[in-house]
Amino acid sequence: MFSVSNVSKHFGEVRAVDDASFSIAEPQMVGIIGRSGAGKSTLLRVLNRLADATSGEVWVEGEDILSFKGARKREWQSNCAMIFQQFNLVPRLDVLTNVLLGRLNKHRTIPSLFKLFSAKERLDALMALDRLGISSIALQRVETLSGGQQQRVAIARALVQKPQIVLADEPIASLDPLNAKIVMESLRDIHDTDGLTVICNLHTLDTARQFCDRVIGMSEGRIVFDGKADNLTTEVAKSIYGASEDFEESMTSTAIGSDNNKPSREDLQIKELSTVDA
């Protein structure tokens, strides 16, 4: 159904994505983990066609989507919803309009410039907002919302696109733990209820373990792990995060309720500074 084969993306000498291959046979919730700069974002951007790959192919239903151009390419982008760390909504427009903008690709240019969306589309948009529990703020302007609310608006926009696949680039990296949980649960629900493949970039291992069926680990542009989260050993995790001997999985955690990553009392005490006399 979805097959990434030997995809590379180079920025000059830097190999942001280096010969990445994986395939997804049936709808899955996939988490891509790795530290900053591992190439996770670049990989998703290549899949959505926001960035062009240097080489490689991505096969979807018998077609190489990396070869698409113009309207074909935009149609693919419409089928491949993307959610961003910084939400990437239009702050000055209201929530409902922002969600409806997910339908732009389905309209001809001139009508779309005058916000001529159908009643069915408006209903769909409201349903999507309701599903995410934010229909009450449908007419509020996006810039007045909290980060968690904005990310849910972005997910609603992805839903009205009626995509084949949902990509989420660090969707919870700028959210507090509670909102992060809500957003991850919404993404999981899209997979469970709508049967869509969701590929989600994550910083943290425990989120991937909790929500994803499959984990892909990236390090310096290369895929270094691909399998069930349970098979991820501490050794592999160390190599993914490039961590030293004292690495513990909990160090990467930002989730609620994992008490073991709280700093000890001693750590919190400010060490006395030794003053130097002149």
> What is the contact surface with another protein in residues (CB under 8 A)?
48, 50, 71, 74-79, 81-82, 84, 86-94, 101-102, 104-105, 109, 112-113, 141, 143, 154, 157-158, 161, 278
Q: Which is nearer to another protein, 89 or 184 (CB)?
A: 89
CA distance 162 to 139: 22
Q: What are phi and psi of 268, to 5 degrees?
A: -75, -25
Q: Which is nearer to another protein, 143 or 192 (CB)?
A: 143
Minimal distance, residue 64 CB to another protein, in Å: 18
Q: In what order do the strands lie in the sheet with 80-83?
A: 80-83, 165-168, 197-202, 29-33, 214-219, 222-227
Minimal distance, residue 78 CB to another protein, in Å: 3
Alpha-carbon Rg for the chain, nearest whole angstrom, is 21
Two tokens at 14?
């830097």
Q: Which is nearer to another protein, 129 or 232 (CB)?
A: 129
Minimal distance, residue 240 CB to another protein, in Å: 26
Strand pairing of 80-83 and 214-219?
Answer: unpaired
Minimal distance, residue 82 CB to another protein, in Å: 4
Two tokens at 102?
């997910």
Q: Which is nearer to another protein, 139 or 270 (CB)?
A: 139
